[in-house]
Structure formats: structure tokens, C-alpha cells
């Protein structure tokens, strides 16, 4: 057993001499013995490198694919048939991704590492090309503004009116500020650099994690390849926001702890300390990632401890690594408790609607059809992509089923932490159900990036075993696996973010991305120039521009603070709201008249409490603002109007007759 890893290395390096990477001492060193039984992993010999898996060809097709993706964005910008731009986009992506995937699948270690690096680039490029120069996504505005405010004030923990909780998680803005100050790059470019680094680190973290758990270099690259297919990978976790950074720290905390659990002495201490540092950084960066880590660690320590207890009773020894997981768990929970108690106190209030609301709405789906989300409903997304979106979980399910069948007979041979990480992947399937619930869709989307870690391990466990079988069956041959790769890649990206997030395009009212306009931006800048960083009532789309570019503070409407009454009803605001607005210093109202031309693409103009969800704002509601005594239109463009509010005049009458 102890010799097995050494033999594997010899086989890899002997059979692929021209593709060997510089392993340094690795080629002569014996890996530390695994003290708990770990079954031998079938390591199919590396496939021969053919012309279509040679690096010049892979790089050329990748470059060409990137250009084709750029072309699809140009087509999207010009409007026109959605089928064409989606088709062109996928032609480019598959042209770029399939050859490198084939290279990773050949199984040579050096090819795997470079292949993972190239896959990291290819899965980052679509989002980068989407908006290379400035923020476009909702969360990007929030974090960009946060970084600007940190730099402007020289202090962390600045208030944020787009995502208030961002104030208490200074990781993204702090790292961006540091990189900006050190490099002199623009704040957004500094953020892009940080996100790109994090994106690559996630994939290499998965490589390390899978290698450690599955004891196979091939499995490492394969796991990273499968993880790169997760629905959040290409757009959501590459946006300039906290999850993209935190998830790298999450993966590395797990990878380093896994190394520590299999090491001894100084190496164990060093790996564990670094893992704890990653956890602390994760904690200061993103609440939800920390929560997912705690949930995972609860199960890991429970299962590892029970397995350890049973082993001690049966064999009289404690398996190694139990204490390591407990230390990480204790450290995470302890630091998390301190952070949420003394620094990020509103965290629980912020997160609770994602979970409680989703469960409640999921249970209501059978009885109240109107409240459920229509999955993949009105959207320019072509039918074939929607079909693949529905098919992707099926393909993943088949792989997981195969893993369960393979594992059930050898369950006891595998370490408990490995099994728990794999089982964590199975949480992906209940999360898919949550897509049916309106607010659960958000929670479900957020979970994919985490649960796919387990899916990646499962796939990296199963696929080499399929391919190692002799004779190789039809379902484990290259074309079938390539087809599965295409289905999961296209389907998962399709199930991730909506059309306006993925593609640029002409102005479309009611999207965070394509409702952005220079008109709104410059109106905000003008208002800030004449009145300072004042408090403003605005729709959610204009608000992003006003906050992001001008630092204005925008009201967050809620049931208790229905600021939308100013626009979404044909009457004056009720006295209580007027008093709240006056008392809080909301002296300005910004209106985009395009909200009266069409219904919002995503449904509402003022958040979930908007009374006109799914409807355009009546034009009369906007025009009456020019006839009420409490509002003066002081800045105007063709589409934007800025009103100065004087709510003390609420109830006063205008003189009907002029001079």
C-alpha cells in the first residue's frame, strides 16, 4: 500500500517523458504513508498526445474561440435573433473548451495542470468581456462603490446602500484597495485582477483537494474540470463581488486541512495554521461562504468523530486527522461567532430570508401556483439551451448514482472526510428543487458553487474507474464523455444567470445590466455635484448608477418603508412615510420615465414589495409629480427627472390660476 503512490508517479513520468513537469524532489521522494486505509485508485495510463490535444492546437483553438465569443457579444449588442448569438457564443466556447478538456482527460500530470490553468482563463473570459471597463452586475456596483469609499475615506467598514451587509465584510474592498494602491490600476481593474487570481486559485484548490482525497494526479485535474462546469463558475463567481474571492479561501481551507489531516509534525501544523488563516480571511470576506463552510464542517466532524469512535472501539486506535477537523471546525465557529457578535451583527437578519422564505415558498408551490417561480420562463434563451439546462442535473445524477453503486461495497475503505465531501455534492439535487421557489432561486444558485465541490470529487472518482475498465465500454469512451461535458457545460451556464446578465445588449428596462445608461450616471453626478452625497429615492435600476458612480445614498423600500409610494401609486405618500422620508433626509426623487414605457424585465421596479410587479408604472403617476406642491423638477433629460422634495408642503394646494 505504501509503495503504490510511488509506483504511480513512476508510471506517469515514465510514460509521458516529453510532457513531464518539474516535480523537483517529488520524483525521488516517497510520499508519506497513508495511515488510514485508502484503496488503490485505478490510474489509466496517459493517452497518447495527438494533434488535436497538442498545445499549439489547443492554444490556437482557445484564441479563436475567444474571438468567436467576442463576436457573439457584438451580435448581442446589435440586438437581433437570440438563437444566433447563443449559437455563436457556444460555438466559440466549445471550440475553445473541448480541445483543452480532451488534453486534461489524457491523464498526463503536466498537461492536466496547464489544462486547468487554461480552463480557468476560458471560464473567466466571457464575464470579463461582458463588462471589462466598469461594473455591470448588481453586486459589482456595491463592491466597486465600497472600494471607492474605502479609498476615499481611508477606512474600512463604510456604509453601503446597495448591499448594506457589505459594510461588515471588508475582504473584497480591502484587498481591492490594497491592490489598487500598490499597482496604480483603476479600482475596477484592480478588482478584476483580484477576482481572476481567486478564480484560478479555486480551480487549483480543487486540484489539490482531489489529489489529496483520491490519491491520483489525474483525479485532481479531472475534478477541477468538472468543478469548472458548475453553474456559478462562468458568470456569477467571476463577477467583482465577495463570493468569488471567498470561495477560493473556502476551497483552500478545506484543501490545506485535508493535507494536515494526512500529515504529521511540523507539516501538519503549518498546513492547519494556513487553513485557519484562509478561514479567517473567508470570514471577513463573505457571510454565505462562511456559513456553507460551517455547515460542511459540522457534518465532517460528526462523521469523522463517529468513524473514529467506532475504529477505536474495534481496533483500539484513533484514526489520524480527527483532531485536525475539530480544530478547523472550532476555529471557524469561534471566529465566526466573534465576527458576527462584535463586527457583523446584522448578518443573521440579512441571511434569514434566503433560507426561511425559500423553505416556506417551496412548501407553498403545490397550493399556490402564482407564488412559485416559473422556471426558465419568459426569456430570450433558446429552447435547446433550456433543454440542456433540464438535462444537466440528469447527467450529473447518473454519475452520482454510479459513484454510489461503486462506493457501497468499499465504503469502509475510504476515509470519512473524503466520503463526507463527496456526499456534500449530493446536496446539489435538493438545491435544484429550490429553483421553483422565488427567493429560493437565489439560495439555490448560491449553493451550486459549494455543492459542486462534492460533485467534482464524485466525478473524479467515477470517470477514471469507467475508463480503466477493460474492455472500455461505449459509455466511457471519449465521444460520450465529451457529449456529457457539453450537456453539463451548456446546461449549467444556461441555468445560472439570465440573458441580460450574460449578454450585453440594447437598452432594456428592468435589468440590472442593460438598464444602465450614461444618462442616469451623469444625472447622478450632476446631483452629487450640486447637493453632495444626498439621500435619494429611486427605482432599483437607476439606483445602481446613482450609488455606484455618484455615491448617493438610495432608499431601500420595504413594507415598513414603502418609498415606492411616491411613484407607484397615483396618490400622495401617507403622512407616516412622508415623516420617515423627511426624518431620514430623503430630499430627492429620481425617476426614469422608461419605467412607464414597459414592464420591468425582471418584474419589479422597487424590490419585492413593489405593488406593481409585472406592470409598467402608469404614466400618469409620473406626470402628476409635476403638479404636486411637494416636488420640484430641478434636473431633467429625455428620460430622467430629478425632483427636490419638500414634504412639509404635503397637503398644501397649488394655486390653479396663474397671473
Contact flags string 278-317 toward other proteins, x per CB under 8 A = x--x--xx--------------------------------
Taking phi over 0 as left and psi of -120 to 50 as alpha, with beta for the rest, 375 belongs to beta
- Rounded least distance, CB 319 to other proteins, Å: 19
As a whole number of angstroms, the distance between CA 93 and CA 101 comes to 12
**Looking at beta carbons only, is 149 or 539 nearer to other proteins?**
149
DSSP, res 215:
-
End-to-end Cα, the chain, rounded Å: 101
As a whole number of angstroms, the distance between CA 8 and CA 328 comes to 31
Residues of this chain, 364-403, that bind other proteins according to CB under 8 A: none
Applying CB under 8 A, the span of 22-30, 334-342, 346-354, 390-398 interacting with other proteins comes to 22-30
Among 17, 24, 316, 479, binds other proteins (CB under 8 A): 24
- Rounded least distance, CB 432 to other proteins, Å: 31
- Rounded least distance, CB 58 to other proteins, Å: 9
**Looking at beta carbons only, is 440 or 548 nearer to other proteins?**
548
**Looking at beta carbons only, is 364 or 646 nearer to other proteins?**
646
Length of the chain: 659
Residue closest to 577 by CA, chosen among 561, 588, 564? 561
**Which residues touch 42 (CB under 8 Å, ≥6 apart)?**
464, 465, 468
Residue 602 near residue 511 (C-beta atoms within 8 A): yes
- Rounded least distance, CB 129 to other proteins, Å: 5
Q: Output the 3-class SS for 405-425.
A: HHHCCCHHHCCHHHHHHHHHH
Residue 63 C-alpha cell reads as 484564441
- Rounded least distance, CB 517 to other proteins, Å: 6
Among 309, 619, 633, 651, binds other proteins (CB under 8 A): 633
- Rounded least distance, CB 657 to other proteins, Å: 5
Among 94, 166, 175, 297, binds other proteins (CB under 8 A): 175
CA distances from 125 to 60, 96, 195 (A): 15, 11, 12
**Looking at beta carbons only, is 169 or 485 nearer to other proteins?**
169
**Which residues touch 81 (CB under 8 Å, ≥6 apart)?**
none
**Which residues touch 560 (CB under 8 Å, ≥6 apart)?**
none
Residue closest to 214 by CA, chosen among 250, 255, 253? 255
CB atoms within 10 A of CB 571: 9
Residues of this chain, 548-607, that bind other proteins according to CB under 8 A: 593
**Looking at beta carbons only, is 433 or 652 nearer to other proteins?**
652
Peptide bond into 400 cis (omega under 30): no
CA distances from 148 to 135, 152, 255, 281, 656 (A): 12, 6, 33, 21, 47
**Looking at beta carbons only, is 154 or 570 nearer to other proteins?**
154
Residues of this chain, 40-79, that bind other proteins according to CB under 8 A: 55, 59-60, 62-64, 66-67, 69-71, 73-74, 77-78
> Is position 200 an interface residue for other proteins (rule: CB under 8 A)?
yes
Among 49, 91, 151, 376, binds other proteins (CB under 8 A): 151
Applying CB under 8 A, the span of 197-205, 309-317, 347-355, 362-370 interacting with other proteins comes to 197-205
The bridge status of strand 631-636 relative to strand 553-554 is: unpaired
> Is position 509 an interface residue for other proteins (rule: CB under 8 A)?
no
The maximal CA–CA distance of the chain, rounded, in angstroms, is 101
Among 368, 374, 626, 651, binds other proteins (CB under 8 A): 626
Among 44, 99, 107, 174, binds other proteins (CB under 8 A): 174
**Which residues touch 97 (CB under 8 Å, ≥6 apart)?**
65, 119, 122, 489
The partner residues of 640 in beta bridges, in order of sequence, read 592
> Is position 156 an interface residue for other proteins (rule: CB under 8 A)?
yes
DSSP, res 366:
T
Applying CB under 8 A, the span of 192-200, 405-413, 551-559, 576-584 interacting with other proteins comes to 192-200
Angle 45-48-53 from CA coordinates, rounded to 5°: 120
Residues of this chain, 80-139, that bind other proteins according to CB under 8 A: 109, 113-114, 118, 121, 125, 128-129, 132
Applying CB under 8 A, the span of 205-213, 357-365, 467-475, 599-607 interacting with other proteins comes to 205-213
Applying CB under 8 A, the span of 210-218, 236-244, 295-303, 574-582 interacting with other proteins comes to 210-218
Among 517, 545, 568, 600, binds other proteins (CB under 8 A): 517
**Which residues touch 550 (CB under 8 Å, ≥6 apart)?**
521, 524, 525, 527, 528, 533
Applying CB under 8 A, the span of 332-340, 409-417, 464-472, 647-655 interacting with other proteins comes to 647-655
Residues of this chain, 442-471, that bind other proteins according to CB under 8 A: none
> Is position 416 an interface residue for other proteins (rule: CB under 8 A)?
no
Among 31, 351, 602, 622, binds other proteins (CB under 8 A): 31
Residue 240 near residue 453 (C-beta atoms within 8 A): no
Q: At what angle do helices 440-468 and 383-407 cross, to 10 degrees?
A: 60
> Is position 657 an interface residue for other proteins (rule: CB under 8 A)?
yes
CB atoms within 10 A of CB 121: 16
Applying CB under 8 A, the span of 273-281, 333-341, 346-354, 596-604 interacting with other proteins comes to 273-281
Residues of this chain, 227-266, that bind other proteins according to CB under 8 A: 245, 248-249, 252, 255, 259, 266
**Looking at beta carbons only, is 18 or 349 nearer to other proteins?**
18
Amino acid at each position: 500500500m505504501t509503495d503504490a503512490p510511488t509506483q504511480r508517479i513512476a508510471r506517469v513520468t515514465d510514460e509521458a517523458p516529453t510532457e513531464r513537469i518539474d516535480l523537483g524532489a517529488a520524483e525521488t521522494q516517497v510520499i508519506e504513508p497513508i495511515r488510514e486505509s485508502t484503496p488503490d485508485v485505478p490510474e489509466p495510463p496517459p493517452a497518447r498526445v495527438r494533434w488535436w490535444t497538442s498545445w499549439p492546437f489547443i492554444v490556437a483553438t482557445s484564441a479563436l474561440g475567444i474571438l468567436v465569443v467576442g463576436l457573439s457579444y457584438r451580435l448581442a449588442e446589435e440586438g437581433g435573433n437570440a438563437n444566433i448569438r447563443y449559437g455563436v457564443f457556444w460555438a466559440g466556447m466549445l471550440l475553445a473548451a473541448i480541445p483543452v478538456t480532451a488534453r486534461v482527460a489524457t491523464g498526463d500530470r503536466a498537461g492536466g495542470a496547464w489544462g486547468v490553468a487554461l480552463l480557468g482563463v476560458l471560464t473567466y473570459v466571457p464575464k470579463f468581456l461582458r463588462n471589462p471597463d466598469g461594473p455591470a452586475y448588481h453586486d459589482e456596483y456595491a463592491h466597486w462603490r465600497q472600494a471607492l469609499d474605502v479609498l476615499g475615506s481611508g477606512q474600512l467598514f463604510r456604509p453601503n446602500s446597495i448591499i448594506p451587509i457589505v459594510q461588515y465584510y471588508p475582504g473584497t474592498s480591502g484587498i481591492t484597495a490594497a491592490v489598487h494602491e500598490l499597482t496604480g490600476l483603476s479600482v475596477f481593474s484592480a478588482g478584476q485582477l483580484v477576482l481572476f487570481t481567486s478564480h484560478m486559485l479555486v480551480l487549483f484548490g480543487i486540484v489539490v483537494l482531489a489529489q489529496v482525497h483520491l490519491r491520483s494526479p489525474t483525479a485532481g485535474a479531472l475534478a477541477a474540470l468538472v468543478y469548472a462546469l458548475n453553474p456559478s463558475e462562468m458568470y456569477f463567481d467571476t463577477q467583482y463581488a465577495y463570493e468569488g474571492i471567498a470561495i477560493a479561501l473556502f476551497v483552500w481551507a478545506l484543501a490545506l486541512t485535508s493535507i494536515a489531516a494526512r500529515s504529521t509534525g511540523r507539516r501538519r501544523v503549518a498546513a492547519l495554521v494556513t487553513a485557519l488563516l484562509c478561514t479567517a480571511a473567508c470570514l471577513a470576506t463573505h457571510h454565505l461562504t462562511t456559513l456553507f463552510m460551517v455547515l460542511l464542517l459540522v457534518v465532517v466532524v460528526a462523521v469523522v468523530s463517529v468513524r473514529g469512535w467506532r475504529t477505536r472501539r474495534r481496533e483500539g486506535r484513533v484514526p489520524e486527522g480527527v483532531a485536525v477537523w475539530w480544530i478547523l471546525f472550532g476555529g471557524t465557529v469561534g471566529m465566526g461567532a466573534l465576527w458576527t457578535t462584535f463586527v457583523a451583527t446584522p448578518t443573521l437578519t440579512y441571511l434569514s430570508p434566503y433560507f426561511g422564505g425559500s423553505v416556506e415558498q417551496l412548501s407553498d408551490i403545490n397550493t399556490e401556483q402564482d407564488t412559485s417561480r416559473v422556471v426558465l420562463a419568459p426569456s430570450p434563451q433558446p429552447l435547446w439551451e433550456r433543454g440542456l439546462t433540464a438535462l444537466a442535473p440528469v447527467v450529473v445524477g447518473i454519475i452520482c448514482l454510479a459513484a454510489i453503486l461503486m462506493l457501497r461495497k468499499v465504503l469502509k475503505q475510504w476515509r470519512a472526510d473524503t466520503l463526507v465531501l463527496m456526499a456534500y455534492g449530493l446536496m446539489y439535487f435538493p438545491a435544484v428543487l429550490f429553483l421553483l421557489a422565488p427567493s429560493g432561486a437565489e439560495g439555490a444558485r448560491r449553493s451550486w458553487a459549494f455543492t459542486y465541490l462534492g460533485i467534482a470529487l464524485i466525478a473524479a472518482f467515477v470517470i477514471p474507474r469507467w475508463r480503466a475498465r477493460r474492455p472500455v465500454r461505449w459509455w466511457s469512451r471519449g465521444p460520450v464523455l465529451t457529449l456529457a461535458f457539453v450537456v453539463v457545460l451548456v446546461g449549467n451556464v444556461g441555468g445560472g444567470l439570465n440573458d441580460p446578465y450574460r449578454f450585453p445588449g440594447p437598452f432594456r428596462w428592468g435589468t440590472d445590466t442593460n438598464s444602465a445608461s450614461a444618462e442616469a450616471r451623469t444625472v447622478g453626478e450632476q446631483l452629487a455635484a450640486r447637493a453632495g452625497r444626498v439621500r435619494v429615492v429611486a427605482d432599483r435600476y437607476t439606483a445602481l448608477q446613482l450609488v455606484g458612480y455618484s455615491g448617493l445614498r438610495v432608499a431601500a423600500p420595504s413594507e415598513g418603508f414603502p418609498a415606492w409610494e411616491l411613484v407607484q401609486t397615483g396618490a400622495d405618500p401617507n403622512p407616516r412615510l412622508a415623516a420617515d422620508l423627511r426624518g431620514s433626509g430623503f430630499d430627492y426623487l429620481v425617476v426614469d420615465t422608461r419605467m412607464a414605457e414597459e414592464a420591468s424585465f425582471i418584474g419589479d421596479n422597487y424590490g419585492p414589495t413593489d405593488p406593481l410587479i409585472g406592470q409598467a408604472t402608469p404614466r400618469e403617476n409620473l406626470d402628476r409629480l409635476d403638479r404636486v406642491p411637494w416636488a420640484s423638477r430641478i434636473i431633467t433629460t429625455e428620460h430622467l427627472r430629478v425632483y427636490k422634495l419638500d414634504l412639509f408642503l404635503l397637503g398644501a394646494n397649488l394655486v390653479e390660476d396663474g397671473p
